[in-house]
Structure 1
Amino acid sequence: MPLEARKDGTLVFGYLDPVSNDRARASDAVLVKTATPWAAELRAERFGAITTCDIAGEQRAQVVPHTSVSPVGIDSLVGVLLAGEVTIEQNGRQCALSPGDFVLYGGGRRFRLDLGRDYRWFLMRLDPGTSTLLRQTPDAMVAQELTSSPGGRILSSMLVELADRGHRLGPLSKGEMGEHVTGVLRTLVREYAGRHTPPAHAHRLLRVLEHIDRHLTEELSPARIAAAHHISVRSLHALFQHRGETLGDHIRQRRLSRIRQDLADPALADVPAYAVAARWGITDPSYFGRVFKIEFGLSPREFRRRSLPGRYAP
């Protein structure tokens, strides 16, 4: 990945945005400031729609975004401390981490990352769908450490194991593991966003979620869902707002999850991908292809090719 020695530090880019060889266009460009020329081992991996970089170094270092960073750059990052000490500061909030802790922060915002000696820092760039969810709960985006909650401890264990063993997985397994990690993270963020949800609202939301799962193959307009639960459309949307996502996002993600299962089913190998999508309520082929790739990091064609080697049907 490209490095450029400068008077004020080392410019590093392309570690989370490997398709970019142009530092002016790279969304992950950072400036690493050290007392001596910076040296570290970096290993980049891709897990479906998420990209990661395992960074290990011996020098104390301070990392800040390059001056060319813009709000349209990397929206959502997860940093996991595997060894050493790390402190991150963003928007006036400072967070100190110990090994095993992870932190959420916005890569497209100004931040300062202080790395102690003999550190190992596992950095993850999240998929667009999770970034959208985090933008709806902005407090969770700003140097927020969530490891101490039960869900946070589960996610921490997954991230540590992913950093240590993920590179040994095959391409399809990497994609699936990325989905699992993303799912747990989304659950954690929704739990964080809805921590003040009244019990009565939580019970009603659970019934709505179950209703949606039972009727994914049918029309799921807000009016129809609201009528089935004797609430107003406005109240329905408010339930999901407390959850930290929109009704439309939830329905789309649930449908895409079912479609993904069917595309990997050998018994359905001869059914065209667009027909599988239509069964689950997504009838526009071009829209389906676009949102599937955003959600899972692969086109439906490529996902099916990897899932059903030798039995692929377009």
Structure 2
Amino acid sequence: MIGTEFRSEDLPCEDRFDHWRDMVGRMRSPSDISSAHAADFRARCRLMDLGSVTVWPTSFAPTRYRRSPKLVRRSDPELYHLSLLLDGGLTLEHAGRTGVFGPRDLHLTDSSQPYDLRPADPHAPRVVKGVGVDFPKALLPLPPHRMRELLGRGLSGREGFGALLADFLIGLERQAETLQPSDAPRLGAVVVDLLSAWCARALDAEDALSPETRREVLTRRIQAFIVRNLHDPELKPPMIAAAHHISVSYLHRIFPQQARGETVASWIRGRRLEGARRDLANPLLRTTPIHAVALRWGIPRASDFTRAFRGAYGLSPKEYREQALSRREQHGPHPRDPEAGSGAAGCRRRP
């Protein structure tokens, strides 16, 4: 497991908001934090230290964060803070700009300048969900005067480099239970590479990126392309190389360096088998023929699928499905963590 988790419901009601305020102040540049929901505050956060980068997926009741000029003068950690909003709405005043952001929007702030980040609707009952990233400004290859062009702007996390960055940050939380602390430095380096590429593309300054960063980002683009096209039986190295305007030999040269030593073909096979494994364990798909599951994941020959599946998981697809569904019937579905703001009863005032 990577990261430590905070849940407000683990604390007494009267301590929750103060603890959140102190914790956020330590994670990012100090700010004045207030909320209309302070008396019954709900929040969750996973704090992941990835070398010089801190990533923290979070959900919290609508809250306002204000960093005044006085606070900037008092303490400046020289950080950029990236926010990926996943649910809810936020208004940001920063660097002479005011913008309103919604789900899958990205925005960047600089600890050296004041900001006012507040809920678009401070009395909204829904939680705000997102992923925050804090990192030293010195890590980016772009000069400060160019980075100022991005501050306070709403940029899309739905397409292009923004989507690559957003998907990677979301994936970190989903895989947090299986990742190990030893993975942290490498994951931090990937985050910096994706941030650098995203900023450079937004500023049309990609010449400033190192060859290593360009290779890392290209591999991430290739992996995202593969995942989108796993259903296509023709998904093979020549098709992938052509879609990215590179040679097949260059594709084979860069891929194992960036994908834990896997070849292109083995990486595709692993993603397909994992997708099929999930479908076979899904009770809603119990009547779907096994050959149809295989075809859905781009494996048209049933014999090829059976052989590959047994090699990966030690069971035939039929045996795996029977065991998975039987286990689910006996023990029920794996419980999902409730979102912040749901589940536990509200705080009660002490008499």
Q: What TM-score comes out, normalization by structure 2 length?
A: 0.46
Q: Distance in 2 between matches of 1:129 and 1:176?
A: 18
Q: Distance in 1 between matches of 2:139 and 2:95?
A: 21
CA contact (8 A) 1:47 1:174 kept: yes
Report the identity percentage. Answer: 17
List aligned pairs for 1:143-182, cutoff 5 A. 143-147=152-156, 150-166=160-176, 168-182=178-192
List aligned pairs for 1:13-28, cutoff 5 A. 13-15=22-24, 17=26, 28=29
Please report how far the alpha carbon of residue 16 of structure 1 lies from its aligned counterpart in structure 2 after TM superposition.
7.0
Q: Which residue of 2 aligns with 1:194?
A: 204
For residues 56 and 74 of structure 1, do their structure 2 counterparts lie closer, same or farther at Cα, with a shift above 3 Å needed? farther
Q: Which residue of 1 aligns with 2:66?
A: 64
RMSD in angstroms over aligned alpha carbons?
3.8
CA contact (8 A) 1:155 1:184 kept: yes
CA contact (8 A) 2:105 2:154 kept: yes
CA contact (8 A) 1:28 1:107 kept: yes
Q: Which residue of 1 aligns with 2:116?
A: 112
Give 1 or 2 for the bigger CA radius of gyration. 2
CA contact (8 A) 2:92 2:117 kept: yes
For residues 132 and 15 of structure 1, do their structure 2 counterparts lie closer, same or farther at Cα, with a shift above 3 Å needed? farther
Q: Secondary structure at the match of 2:148?
A: helix
Q: Which residue of 1 aligns with 2:146?
A: 137
User: In the alignment, which of 45, 48, 62 is matched to residue 42 of structure 1?
Assistant: 45
Q: Which residue of 2 aligns with 1:220?
A: none
Structure 1: which amino acid aligns with 2:166?
S
Structure 1: which amino acid aligns with 2:35?
T
CA contact (8 A) 2:55 2:132 kept: yes
Please report how far the alpha carbon of residue 160 of structure 1 lies from its aligned counterpart in structure 2 after TM superposition.
1.8
Q: Which residue of 2 aligns with 1:123?
A: 132
Is residue 75 of structure 1 aligned with residue 84 of structure 2? no
Structure 1: which amino acid aligns with 2:92?
I
Please report how far the alpha carbon of residue 120 of structure 1 lies from its aligned counterpart in structure 2 after TM superposition.
1.3
Q: Secondary structure at the match of 1:126?
A: strand
Q: Secondary structure at the match of 2:66?
A: strand
List aligned pairs for 1:160-239, cutoff 5 A. 160-166=170-176, 168-194=178-204
CA contact (8 A) 1:62 1:112 kept: yes
Deviations 1:158-186 (A, max 9, x none): 12222333464111222212211210111
For residues 142 and 180 of structure 1, do their structure 2 counterparts lie closer, same or farther at Cα, with a shift above 3 Å needed? same
Please report how far the alpha carbon of residue 133 of structure 1 lies from its aligned counterpart in structure 2 after TM superposition.
2.7
Q: Distance in 1 between matches of 2:134 and 2:82?
A: 7
Q: Which residue of 1 aligns with 2:33?
A: 32
Aligned residues: 192
Deviations 1:128-184 (A, max 9, x none): 433563524133441123325511121121122223334641112222122112101
Is residue 54 of structure 1 aligned with residue 57 of structure 2? yes
Q: Secondary structure at the match of 1:158?
A: helix
Q: Secondary structure at the match of 1:68?
A: helix
For residues 163 and 65 of structure 1, do their structure 2 counterparts lie closer, same or farther at Cα, with a shift above 3 Å needed? farther
For residues 184 and 98 of structure 1, do their structure 2 counterparts lie closer, same or farther at Cα, with a shift above 3 Å needed? same
Q: What TM-score comes out, normalization by structure 1 length?
A: 0.51
Q: Distance in 2 between matches of 1:13 and 1:138?
A: 29
Structure 2: which amino acid aligns with 1:190?
A
Please report how far the alpha carbon of residue 209 of structure 1 lies from its aligned counterpart in structure 2 after TM superposition.
6.3
For residues 169 and 152 of structure 1, do their structure 2 counterparts lie closer, same or farther at Cα, with a shift above 3 Å needed? same
Q: Distance in 1 between matches of 2:49 and 2:100?
A: 27
Deviations 1:241-292 (A, max 9, x none): xxxxxxxxxxxxxxxxxxxx9xx9xxxxxxxxxxxxxxxxxxxxxxxxxxxx
Q: Distance in 2 between matches of 1:138 and 1:109?
A: 13
Q: Secondary structure at the match of 1:80?
A: strand
Q: Distance in 2 between matches of 1:154 and 1:100?
A: 12
Structure number with the higher helix fraction is 2
